[in-house]
Structure 1
Amino acid sequence: MNHLQVQGRWRLSAWRRTTSEGDVVYPLGEDASGLLVYTSSGRMMVQMTAAHRSLVATSDPLGGGVDERAAAYSTCLAYFGSYTVTDGKVIHNIEGSSFPNWSGTEQVRPYELSGDELVLRTPPSKTDGISVVNEISWIRH
């Protein structure tokens, strides 16, 4: 795959999290929405949100109660930066993220591209001895 093949806008089809025990979860729900953009200049951005998110009781995007902000934060993932495509992987060099631990990091995503569907996966990670892989499917938009 090269930059030209992934370049453009992609609509979220599904974000599935599969465990080594065979469990499948949809972190933002089966009806989540999202947009992934890869530009010709090597820039990228992504945002995914759960459907039916609760409103925050303020007009200030940085305001609201702690519980309201926590609920809003846990139903959205967004980041931006640059990207490269190499050796069966898309590498996201993250400059800023709603998940602060990713800001300034490199996130490697093995991929599959079939027609207008792009599937990105995270490398397996272990928590309490259970392996987890995130699979995020996108449809060209």
Structure 2
Amino acid sequence: MKNLEEQLIGTTWSLKSFESIDQNDHIYYPLGEDAKGFIIFDHTGLFSVQLMAKEALSKNAVAHYRTDVDKAMGMHEYHAYSGHFSLDEEKAVMTTSVELSLIPTYRGSKQKRSVNIEGDLLYLSNIEHPERKLVRQKKI
């Protein structure tokens, strides 16, 4: 069986779902239920993420979002960031070192994600914000 690095390097994954849970424990979709996006992992250890709302989001909808990052994504109806990534194979954790980001507070940050790959699906969950979950499907 391939390790995480072998399964990620040189791949592109399209967004299948992006959900979060608000302060009242209700599921919401920071960029709408039909959001679009990609994550790309290259051979040099760089990654790039692009996420966008398919339709305009109402300003009232983003008011209940849990985090400032979710609120900023909702206000822009878009999120993009990139940088270098590393993997802890034993813990199945990816750390991204964000160098470029549409949201200024992301710049220079390190983001930790639990990683699970099942078939052609990539499950990423933010370790600091486990309520935020993304599922991506491998592009062939």
1:81 partnered with 2:110: no
Work out whether residues 109 and 120 of structure 1, in 8 Å CA contact, stay in contact via their aligned partners in 2.
Answer: yes
Identity of aligned residues (%): 24
For residues 71 and 12 of structure 1, what CA distance do their matches in structure 2 show?
15
Q: What is the one-letter code of the residue matched to 2:114?
A: P
After TM superposition, give the deviation of residue 22 of structure 1 in Å: 3.7
Matches within 5 A, 1:90-109: 90-109=94-113
User: Which runs of 5 or more structure 2 residues have no equivalent in the other structure?
Assistant: 58-71
Equivalent position SS for 1:110: strand
> Quick check: which one's strand share is greater?
1
**Relative to 1, partners in 2 of residues 1:112 and 1:71: Cα closer, same or farther, differing over 3 Å?**
closer
Work out whether residues 41 and 47 of structure 2, in 8 Å CA contact, stay in contact via their aligned partners in 1.
Answer: yes
After TM superposition, give the deviation of residue 71 of structure 1 in Å: 9.2
Question: Which stretches of structure 1, 4 residues or more, deviate above 2 A after TM superposition?
Answer: 18-22, 70-74
After TM superposition, give the deviation of residue 72 of structure 1 in Å: 8.4
> Quick check: which one's helix share is greater?
2
TM-score of the superposition, structure 2-length normalised? 0.77
Deviation track 1:63-117 (CA, whole Å, cap 9, x = no partner) reads: xxxxxxx898520011010101112111111001011101011100012110110
- The range that moved more, 20-29 or 44-53, is 20-29
Kindly name which structure, 1 or 2, has the bigger radius of gyration based on alpha carbons: 1
Root mean square deviation, CA, Å: 2.3
TM-score of the superposition, structure 1-length normalised? 0.76
For residues 82 and 122 of structure 2, what CA distance do their matches in structure 1 show?
18
* The one of 25, 29, 32 aligned to 1:26: 29
